[in-house]
Structure 1
């Protein structure tokens, strides 16, 4: 009887911890940033970094984000960071965007790019970017690795790029 009480207490504590963790994730702050902030993050990163530009209305974007999150988690020993840069419209920030992130259980850092002039901010990330999404930038400043993908990537492509970026 004492053992069952201990097991029940452990289950209760586990559920409380899980609920607390979920609440903390759901309360994730979505910072408003400018393109200069993103550039600074890229230029000063001391760890391998993936910057993914996406929007909640972009179906290919939504398909690839779970691949990024799964593969970045698999490379946790390499301290890879995934930054999801939302290009959603101002009316969707922050409420609708937070709701969307919570519904999809994104664990990575999400920021909202408040700059609306793609013709100005795209070339600051890569000269070949003309405003389409999804796009991703893989950067490892320690090894001088930089790969810009102007398209949706597949799960195996994310794995391969992570391997190349972390060598």
Structure 2
């Protein structure tokens, strides 16, 4: 089996269930986040801050077999993410999401431009990932909540 962001699970590996509706438009991003795929946004909080005023996601499923195409679709559906903030000659937080092919490499395991000690996406550790904080907390550890 090929490794990488486009790899599919082998036969016999549990597949994630597809959700047909979402309680909130941002939940698709939260699901992706829970799988370990996040991003960063501009703002002014300091790194010493602890995320606060977050939605409780303890009952939300964490999917281990997330495909990049599914994540990209969720990001692309949130037009403000890829069309207004993170594209063009000066993308927010120096995070360019204009290319479907390269965006994953700017997110996963990459430090935030706002605080290099915070990963945009910390694989397998969604609560420490900046994307989850950005879509789930009114006061993320770095910057501000994404629209």
- Greater radius of gyration (CA): 1
The structure with the largest strand share of the pair is 1
Q: TM-score, normalised by structure 1?
A: 0.24
Q: TM-score, normalised by structure 2?
A: 0.26
Q: Which has the higher contact order (CA 8 A, sep 6+)?
A: 2
